[in-house]
């Protein structure tokens, strides 16, 4: 293995996913810095390159992408279960978008070095010297960051196609990641969706959209989830709607007498939505649905709440708290990857290392862009870290309280700074 080249640059960004791209975009727009972007994939876009073929954003396209280039055409859907709400970019649109940002915008600027199909071991990286190894021919490139090394991989986004399920699967079982639904060669006599999060809901909606009788769908949900109503998260009157939501949120907190009472008030105010009125959700992952999608999901009556799957054989599914029958021609859909796991919070700014994390809950690309602006506009890491208080991704329902608290603390700090408030606007 020999060194193929060396690069001196201001920032070395490891990861060309949504957060790495959003950070680079603001640095390029607000400074004269040069940037090197290293990624294991052959295209920018991170996990979107491995997502299931029918995936769409759960939030309007306008809230995603990079700050300098709109994603989507700022239109509302006129048909389907998102009708009347702003468009949701497909996975193919998102991948093409990031490819255009990189090759039509970043690289032509002359300030970006892009190394796809390269790996970096950040655990072995000290200071600002980085070694990137080609996954194609094994050659290495040495990079020196004059300012910082940016870890855009810490949030650890994964999708089912990127790893095997944690449960056992016997020979002869029809099984596959959610990606396989888009390439079925033969119909099944039933579908069992394993996983209660965004991906599980998407799999169920895909089947219903393609005419599968809801009685042919079994949905294994170890935990029921609170959802956000997408109608409350729309561009246009977003700031007015957000202000109203914040007021409602604080009113609910102030008026509640217990945690169950708080969630009842949040539901009554339309801030949270559940699928089944008689089941108290214990999970909150920021997934959004339209009310039409929620109505469709409620058509599925065979919902299994017996814990996590441990083993699937040709005739039974073994779960934590029981066993249920299955058949040889049932297709079992794995939707269990922890798409955005809750990682321990670390300092965003730490000497020569910068670790991208969420500073507004469940808003990864906004957070990366905001961190980049703070990096560019302030010259003291203590001040930077104060402004960029990490709000880890939620998991349990009660994490709503923690994330609301973290958002409120950050908002108070931001609103006390007129220049920062102007940037946010």
- pLDDT category at 161 given cuts 50, 70, 90 is low
Tokens, residue 279 = 């089941």
Say how far apart CA 391 and CA 362 lie, in whole Å: 9
Q: For 85-109, b where at least 16 C-beta lie within 10 A, e where not — what string?
A: bbbbbbbebbbebbeebbeeebeee
Q: Is the pLDDT of residue 220 over 60?
A: yes
- pLDDT category at 163 given cuts 50, 70, 90 is confident
Phi, psi at 145, each rounded to 5°: -90, 120
pTM (predicted TM-score): 0.94
168-201 pLDDT, tens digit per residue, is 999 999 999 999 998 888 999 999 999 998 999 9
Q: For 312-343, b where at least 16 C-beta lie within 10 A, e where not — what string?
A: bbeeebebeeeeeebeeebbbbbbbbbbbeee
Say how far apart CA 90 and CA 206 lie, in whole Å: 13
Q: What is the CA radius of gyration of the chain?
A: 22
Report the percentage of the chain scoring pLDDT > 70.
96
68-79 pLDDT, tens digit per residue, is 999 999 999 999
């Amino acid at each position: 293995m020999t060194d193929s080249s060396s690069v001196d640059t201001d920032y070395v960004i490891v990861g060309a996913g949504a957060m790495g791209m959003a950070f680079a975009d603001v640095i390029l727009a607000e400074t004269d810095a040069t940037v090197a972007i290293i990624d294991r994939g052959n295209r920018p876009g991170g996990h979107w390159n491995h997502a299931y073929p029918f995936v769409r954003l759960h939030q309007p396209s306008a809230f995603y992408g990079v700050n300098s280039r709109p994603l989507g055409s700022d239109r509302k859907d006129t048909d389907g279960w998102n009708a009347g709400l702003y468009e949701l970019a497909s996975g193919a649109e998102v991948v093409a978008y990031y490819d255009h940002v990189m090759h039509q915008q970043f690289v032509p600027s002359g300030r970006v070095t892009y190394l796809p199909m390269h790996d970096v071991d950040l655990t072995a990286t000290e200071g600002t010297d980085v070694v990137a190894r080609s996954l194609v021919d094994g050659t290495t490139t040495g990079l020196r960051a004059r300012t910082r090394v940016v870890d855009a991989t810490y949030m650890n986004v994964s999708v089912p196609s990127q790893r095997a399920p944690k449960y056992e699967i016997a020979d002869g079982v029809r099984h596959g990641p959610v990606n396989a639904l888009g390439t079925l060669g033969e119909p099944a006599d039933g579908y069992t969706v394993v996983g209660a999060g965004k991906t599980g809901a998407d799999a169920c909606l895909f089947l219903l959209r393609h005419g599968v009788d809801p009685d042919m769908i079994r949905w294994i949900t170890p935990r029921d989830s609170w959802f956000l109503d997408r109608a409350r998260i729309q561009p246009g009157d977003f700031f007015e709607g957000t202000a109203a939501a914040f007021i409602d949120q604080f009113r609910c907190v102030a008026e509640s007498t217990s945690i169950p009472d708080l969630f009842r008030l949040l539901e009554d105010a339309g801030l949270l939505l559940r699928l089944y009125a008689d089941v108290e959700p214990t999970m909150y992952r920021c997934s959004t649905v339209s009310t039409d999608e929620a109505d469709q999901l409620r058509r599925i009556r065979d919902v299994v709440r017996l814990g996590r799957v441990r083993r699937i054989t040709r005739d039974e599914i073994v779960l934590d708290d029981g066993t249920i029958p299955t058949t040889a021609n049932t297709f079992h859909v794995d939707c269990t990857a922890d798409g955005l796991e809750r990682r321990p919070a670390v300092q965003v700014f730490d000497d020569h290392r910068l670790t991208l994390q969420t500073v507004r809950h469940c808003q990864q690309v906004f957070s990366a862009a905001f961190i980049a602006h703070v990096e560019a506009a302030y010259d003291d890491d203590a001040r930077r870290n104060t402004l960029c208080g990490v709000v880890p991704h939620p998991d349990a329902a009660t994490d709503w309280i923690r994330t609301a608290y973290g958002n409120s603390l950050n908002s108070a700090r931001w609103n006390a700074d007129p220049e920062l408030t102007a940037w946010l606007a």
